[in-house]
Amino acid sequence: MSRSQPAADGSTATAPGVRDVVLVLPSVICSHTVAERIADRVDGCVATPHDHGCAQIGRDNDRTKQTLIAMGAHPNVVGAVVVGLGCEHVQSDVVAEELADRGVPVRELTIQGVGGTEACVERGVELATELRKRSASTPTDLDLDDRTVGIVSTDLDDPTVDTADPLVGDFADRVVAAGGTVAVAGIERVNAHPDAANERNGLDIEGVLANAQGGPPRAPRVRRQAGERSFDEATRAWGNAPIDEIVAYGESPEPSTDVALVDSSSRFEEAATALVAAGAELIVHVTGDGIPSGHPIAPVIKVSATPSTLDAVGADIDVDARTTDVDGLVEQVRSVATGAPCRAERHGVTSFAIERAGPSM
């Protein structure tokens, strides 16, 4: 599997992913515009702008830090430039040190430390260019037995439940049967059916339920829809294999895990970030609403079976589930994983968000 493994020098090396990007990583909201400007000027660079890293406390602050580190250490990332302001809670040098400890080629700078916004942009471009020159893009064949695939379904309307989710569930079963790992998001489905979730998977979900009660609202529409359906209907996109592990937001499953449930809602932006943090190199997203955005680090394959959505925004959907079987979906995944751009990549539409764990100041 594409998991971090100890290197000879004791650091952590990561097997190549399905993309080859240099990440310009803002440690705080105050530096995200600078990070975007740096990434825009260097081919092969991406940024992850966000509104976190300052005035957060406790578990909320810890989640932001952990998630940012997971972004920089992702298999699709070949190097990282961490950009801070200089006075934030999530300090850029701390993030950079953690990435270096994991074997990531990393550079770090702050707006205050280099003399202001424009100076930081220019220096950041130099550092990103240096890292970009050190890496080489070499697409590799996809074997499902050594990959982690993320799955999220963001609605429970009839075309999704009856057609799109079963197709993606069959694909998830293929990944597990081949020896790969499937990470799924959509914890509100478990919250709506705790007894059924325990019976099917044999997992203790009390901690998940406590998090749901103690945090902000999580995808209330899908939670309502899940409560109106059975647990099996609500989780068809996850496949038939039982869940081996519940993974905290910002963390990754154990290498031996077949199916991991990430403690994230199914809201696309937050769910995609949680799946990437869990090591997903590619995401399959079932969308009845036609949500067009992808993720900066991992390609996102859009699947829909909703006629009105396919008529209106078919150019944003990769797979029409009404006319595609599981073999076709596997081939689409292989094509994107070996370098073909997904629709969101073609259109240059990405979003990045970290789900809040609690109040901020």
Measure the CA–CA gap between 40 and 117, rounded to whole angstroms: 15
What is the share, in percent, of the chain residues with pLDDT greater than 70? 88
Evaluate if pTM is beyond 0.95. Answer: no
Query: Strands of 181-185's sheet, edge to edge?
Result: 245-247, 259-262, 181-185, 148-153, 282-286, 300-304, 319-320
pLDDT at residue 280 is higher than 90 = yes
Q: Of the ranges 7-11, 26-30, 293-297, which one carries the lowest mean pLDDT score?
A: 7-11
Amino acid 146: pLDDT = 79
What is the structure's pLDDT at 13? Answer: 43
The confidence score (pLDDT) of residue 86 equals: 81
Is 184's pLDDT higher than 70?
Answer: yes
Query: What is the structure's pLDDT at 53?
Result: 74
> If one looks up domain 144-347 in CATH, what number appears?
3.40.50
The yes-or-no verdict on residue 91 having pLDDT over 80 is: yes
pLDDT in tens, 39-58: 999 999 999 999 887 767 78
Q: Where are the beta strands (DSSP E) in the chain?
A: 4-6, 12-14, 21-26, 45-47, 77-84, 106-110, 148-153, 181-185, 245-247, 259-262, 282-286, 300-304, 319-320
Tell me what pLDDT residue 6 has.
35
Mean pLDDT within 2-14: 39
CA-closest candidate to residue 124, choices 273, 22, 28, 21: 22
What pLDDT is recorded for position 332?
97
Tokens 């890496």 — which residue? 135
Residue 139 confidence (pLDDT): 55
Q: What mean pLDDT do residues 207-225 have?
A: 69
Strands 245-247 and 319-320: unpaired
**Confidence at residue 60, expressed as pLDDT on a 0 to 100 scale:** 82
353: nearest Cα among 43, 49, 81: 49
Q: What is the dihedral of CA 61, 65, 71, 73, to 10 degrees?
A: -160
Contacts of 294 (CB under 8 A, 6+ apart): 272, 300, 342, 344, 345, 349, 350, 351
Band (pLDDT 50/70/90 cuts) for residue 145 is confident
- Give domain limits for the chain: 19-134, 144-347
Average pLDDT over residues 226-254: 94
Using pLDDT thresholds of 50, 70 and 90, give the confidence band for residue 8. Answer: very low
Fold of 19-134: Rossmann fold (3.40.50)
Average pLDDT over residues 240-266: 93
Tens of pLDDT, residues 189-214:
998 888 888 887 776 676 666 665 55
Domains 19-134 and 144-347 share a fold: yes
* Residue 11, C-beta contacts closer than 8 angstroms, at least 6 positions apart: 101, 102, 103
User: Residue 11 above 90 pLDDT?
Assistant: no
pLDDT in tens, 159-179: 999 999 999 999 999 999 999
Residue 188 to residues 148, 232, 240, 294, 323, Cα–Cα distance (Å): 22, 14, 18, 22, 29
Across the range 257-263, mean pLDDT stands at: 95
